[in-house]
Structure 1
Amino acid sequence: MDNVNKKMMIGTLCLGFVLAGCTNTDKSLETKQQSKVSTQTSQSATQNSSDTSNSITKNQPQIKINVEDAIKAYNEAYPNTAITSLDLDPSFGVYYYEIKGVDDSKEYEVKINAETGELKKEREETLDKDEQNGVEKKNEALDLKDIRSVDDVSKIAQDSLGEGTAIEWSLERELSVTYWEVKVQTGNKEMTVKINAQTGDVLEKELDD
């Protein structure tokens, strides 16, 4: 009987070890599977973030000629004048700068290809008598010192709305303030954001009709 009991006890202990080993193996496999799922989820999230970033980059218009270079090109064409407005918008799918300026007697306008830098003189015309002798220059000349770039104001406008892509830009003046007016496409809507050209402060946001 003693030998039989000993054999039974030994058999029970062995079975216990086998069962314990199986349990540990199952836990190990479960841990590995959880780790694999976590890694796949993390990789998927990273991929989605990258895809979103790439989508934003692709949607953003590519402007090769910056504002400073466009202003320089205008000043070379018409020295000793003051710029009174600057627009950057598409024409038949190509972006152009349209820059207007004045001296004491005339108003000038140029069109600059934002991709190639090619400049075309659009028109010259005599100012009205009440605008001559520096009157128009004093009232309408833009403050071009330390103005924010197109990239800067695009980001400010988009961040202020929380979405969208900047598609058109205008540099204008109201009273003594020079500001950027940025048009942002958000789904089926277009929003206009006015931004102080020097400080980057958002002055106004409105839905276009």
Structure 2
Amino acid sequence: MTSLALNYDGRYAISGGDEGVHFWDLTNPNQPRKEMLLGMGKYSTDWYEVAISADAKRALVSHQSGNGEGGVMVYDLSNPANPEGYSLIRNADYHSSNTVALSGDGNTALVGYHHWTTYNNFVTYWDLRTWDKTELRPMTGWKITPDTGGSVVQWEIALNHDGKRALIAQRNDPAPKDEPNPPRSEVQLWALDTLAGFPRFSPTG
């Protein structure tokens, strides 16, 4: 199991793991029901990240495949017995999503992205009512080579209920010892209604 998400009242859940991605109806805990959203991946290294809206009517699923494929899907769960999926992002040209967040009302999505050849990293903000996309924050990760230490930027992201506020955390592994200006792990608060970033702060203060 690589990712789990529970809706507001605890009646529905999304899971991602070795057997793919499933939508769970937990209304009767003694007899939980599940529907498959995405089938099992081809590789043992396949990875999923999932998010679900408060009313369980919409879900967001990121799939990182061992061969560089995958992408991000949006699922309409209005009819739990027949969920409908729509492609939001398709991993291509060495881009790979590594984390997702969905606002409680299901209208706003954030996707953290990494480019495996340029090592440029960014977070995209999506208005799912219009499907408009905005790039929030490009960053540069460290190139990993067999004889050199380094890291690739990873993201942790969170949204409030109406999607107007977001926390974006940049996570770095230790950089090479001789690197004069290594990147720092930090967190930034964003006002998504104005697309303004507030002063950054470190998780350690």
Shorter-chain TM-score range: 0.3 to 0.5
Structure with a larger share of its residues in helix: 1
Q: Which has the larger radius of gyration?
A: 1
Query: TM-score if structure 1 supplies the norm length?
Result: 0.34
Structure having greater relative contact order (Cα 8 Å, sep ≥ 6) = 1
Query: TM-score if structure 2 supplies the norm length?
Result: 0.35
Structure with a larger share of its residues in strand: 2
